[in-house]
A and B are shown apart, each in its own frame.
Chain A
Amino acid sequence: GAGVSQSPSNKVTEKGKDVELRCDPISGHTALYWYRQSLGQGLEFLIYFQGNSAPDKSGLPSDRFSAERTGGSVSTLTIQRTQQEDSAVYLCASSPSGRVTDTQYFGPGTRLTVL
Chain B
Amino acid sequence: AQSVTQLGSHVSVSEGALVLLRCNYSSSVPPYLFWYVQYPNQGLQLLLKYTTGATLVKGINGFEAEFKKSETSFHLTKPSAHMSDAAEYFCAVSDVLYGNNRLAFGKGNQVVVIP
Scoring A residues 75 to 115 as 1 if CB is less than 8 Å from chain B, else 0, what string do you get? 00000000000000001010100111111111111000000
The CA of A4 and the CA of B42, in the complex, are separated in Å by 12
Given contacts A4-B43, A43-B90, A45-B95, contact A104 B101 (CB under 8 A): yes
**Number of interface residues, chain A, beta carbon within 8 A:** 29
Which B positions have Cβ atoms within 8 angstroms of A? 32, 34, 36, 41-46, 49, 51-52, 90, 92, 94-96, 98-108
- Residues in A whose Cβ lies below 8 Å from that of B98: 56, 58
Given contacts A45-B95, A101-B51, A103-B49, contact A56 B43 (CB under 8 A): no
Let me know if B43 and A107 touch, CB within 8 A: yes
Interface centre among B42, B43, B92, B108 (most CB of A within 10 A): B43
Let me know if B100 and A48 touch, CB within 8 A: yes
The CA of A104 and the CA of B42, in the complex, are separated in Å by 15
Let me know if A100 and B101 touch, CB within 8 A: yes
The CA of A102 and the CA of B50, in the complex, are separated in Å by 11
- Residues in A whose Cβ lies below 8 Å from that of B100: 31, 48, 50, 55-56, 98, 100
The 3 closest A-B CB pairs, nearest first, are: A106-B43, A43-B105, A106-B44
Let me know if A48 and B43 touch, CB within 8 A: no
